[in-house]
Amino acid sequence: MEALSKAMNKREIKFSLVYRDMWQSSGKYVPRVDQLVEVAPAIIDMGCFDRVETNGGAFEQVNLLFGENPNKAVRAWTAPLRKAGIQTHMLERGLNALRMNPVPLDVRELMFRVKKAQGTDIARSFCGLNDHRNLKASVEGAKKAGMISQAALSITYSPVHTVDYYMGVVDKLVEYGTDEICLKDMAGIGRPSFLGELVSDIKKKYPHILVQYHGHSGPGFSPASMLEVARAGADYLDVAVEPLSWGKVHPDVITVREMLRADGFLVKDIDVDAYMEVRRLTQKFIDDFLGYWINPSNSKMTSLLVGCGLPGGMMGSMMADLKGFQGAINAAQHAHGRPEISLDTLMVKLFGEVEYVWPRLGYPPLVTPFSQYVKNTALMNLFNMLSDKPRWTTIDKDTWGMILGHMGRLPGPLAPEIVGLAKEKGLEFTDCNPQDNYPDELPKFRAMMDEEGWDYGEDEEELFELAMHERQYRDYRSGLAKERFNAELEQMKAKAGAPIIVERPVVEMPKIDIDALLQKYPGAIPVQAPVKGQLLWQLDVDDKGAAPTVGTEVKASEVIGYVQAWYGLEEIRPAAGGRYVAVCGRQGESVAKGEIIALIL
């Protein structure tokens, strides 16, 4: 009777399956549309999900990289879920919408109209700086399009990220008209008691606002956090399923359900046979081809993430960065008569430097792209200090943009040495609304569509894709994207030892001994690929001979080339000026993140 009474006094907690983020947090790609349509009935049959995260984030870019139409993918993927009464939700990045750089207001507004027409019910919108100004247009755009607006708080743990701080953001988001609040605990470092207090305050002040919790499981806090926010009044919890649950991803729905049920909450039953079918199909997709891009380390949790606060999904790329720098660092160690440094030692040093850098850069929440800015600055500090140079010698252009306020307000104050350095360089701080820097562009893209003879598409969805991802969309339309993906897949299969059919001749190129070059040029600064992708010293990708010439002079932080990543172009900027003493990367070839492509002295 006591147990029955306890259950009757508890609320229902509902679950959202973050099927898109499960994949995005594990590797590079998400399943193809035919695979998503295949798994949808089993997800429905599980019977425990009121919501499924279907698209947004990098979903559209991934489909373009496949050489497939992302608009058709969204419509086909959301349709069976919505027919079954399950709400679908997307993730978008506020000012950056569905890409890594700012988006004009008219394109942002079109995005919501398109996604609503395609079958997306809820727009989860976040700003990596928690600047409410960057979210105002998201809330208003989603509501105007007829979507549910879910504004997200980027959760982190610092002296400035207090309950009062977050409530100040919530106040503005409610004023703008948001329907729901999401606690986006992207690194999983939100302390359970703190999160519970924050949810409690939101519910007390705004009882009509629904609250959803999204917490990655990397450092291990997430189950306790889920229980605390549920007790405090949260309505929805984001969960995953095997074989992609846990690790750096999200807790599994079975464990979370049993935990809540034991605490007296009302939770829906899970059809275990359907769960096993979703599990089987997910593994099938991994075995088919998606597993080639899944970092094995993402299946492991680590408490080392507690101190530095970096998102778990960054661990793989960060280790690649360290491996790339290790040779250059040890070359400097040799030049100064010091012993070599192991990769593990470098990792611990980098974590420590992130902890040093982060507060001095104003405590930006460590979520894309600001986590990359902080990590990159810490990495360059580490390299410079081990080369007997001072901290802050190298700060890239994008990080300066964050520091100066071009992307929004930083949560905390900048350290005096950063302010002083900006003044020395003649840089100016701004507190303008970031959106004001990006005028409308849809007329330009309409003219482009007309010139190409392309149809704007149903609900102008093709116009939207061109405006949001111009280069990737053009590569999709030309067939270049599909050709690249197939070539990349062949390459990944070859590395894994799988048999492949070579349909074109493979040209053997001479190997370049990076270690020998570093020994030959002690003190040389490595130029590394900022991301994995196709190296483009020039944007004419057909010119295979284009590459810098040894002896050519370059300036620090100037753009010297690009890498065509899966989400767009990333600029290559050297950390220091000088002359090329070696050029290791060739135009058009595939490079790994952190791979040394040139040396400058």
CA distance 462 to 446: 10
Domain ranges in the chain? 2-297, 302-436, 514-600
Q: Tens digit of pLDDT for each residue in 235-275?
A: 999 999 999 999 989 999 999 999 999 999 999 999 999 99
DSSP 549: P
If one compares 20 and 492, the residue with the highest pLDDT of the two is 20
Confidence label for 514 from pLDDT (cuts 50, 70 and 90)? low
pLDDT of 442 strictly over 60: yes
Q: Is residue 222 within 8 Å of residue 250, measured between CB atoms?
A: yes
Q: Tens digit of pLDDT for each residue in 395-415?
A: 888 899 999 999 999 999 999
User: What is the helix (H) or strand (E) element at residue 448, kind and residue range?
Assistant: helix 442-452
If one compares 57 and 202, the residue with the highest pLDDT of the two is 202
Question: Where on the phi/psi map is residue 60: left (φ > 0), alpha (ψ -120 to 50), or beta?
Answer: alpha
CA distance 65 to 69: 10
Q: What is the mean pLDDT of residues 538-543?
A: 52
What 3-state DSSP class applies to 55? strand
- Beta strands 533-536 and 561-565 are antiparallel
pLDDT of 541 strictly over 50: no
Query: Residues 387, 392, 393, 397: is their CA dihedral positive or negative?
Result: positive
CA distance 208 to 28: 38
Confidence label for 316 from pLDDT (cuts 50, 70 and 90)? low
How many angstroms from the chain centroid is the CA of residue 26? 11
Confidence label for 319 from pLDDT (cuts 50, 70 and 90)? low
User: What is the helix (H) or strand (E) element at residue 526, kind and residue range?
Assistant: strand 525-528
pLDDT at res. 586: 81
DSSP 25: T
Cβ neighbours of residue 506 under 8 Å, at least 6 residues apart? none
pLDDT at res. 505: 32
What CATH class is the domain 514-600? mainly beta
- Beta strands 533-536 and 525-528 are unpaired
pLDDT at res. 539: 62
Return the C-alpha torsion angle 64, 68, 72, 73, nearest 10. Answer: -70
The proportion of the chain whose per-residue pLDDT surpasses 90, expressed as a percent, equals 62
Homologous superfamily (CATH) for 2-297: Aldolase class I (3.20.20.70)
pLDDT at res. 512: 62
Angle, helix 192-205 to helix 163-176, in steps of 10 degrees: 40
> Is the link from the previous residue into 416 a cis peptide, with omega within 30 of 0?
no
pLDDT of 501 strictly over 50: no
pLDDT at res. 567: 52
44 token code pair: 């429905």
Question: Which range has the top average pLDDT, 151-155, 314-318, 586-590?
Answer: 151-155
Confidence label for 506 from pLDDT (cuts 50, 70 and 90)? very low
**Burial (CB count within 10 angstroms: exposed 0-12, middle 13-18, buried 19+), residue 568:** buried
DSSP 90: E
Q: Tens digit of pLDDT for each residue in 77-97?
A: 999 999 999 999 999 999 999
pLDDT of 297 strictly over 90: no
Q: Tens digit of pLDDT for each residue in 173-231?
A: 999 999 999 999 998 999 999 999 999 999 999 999 999 999 999 999 999 999 999 99
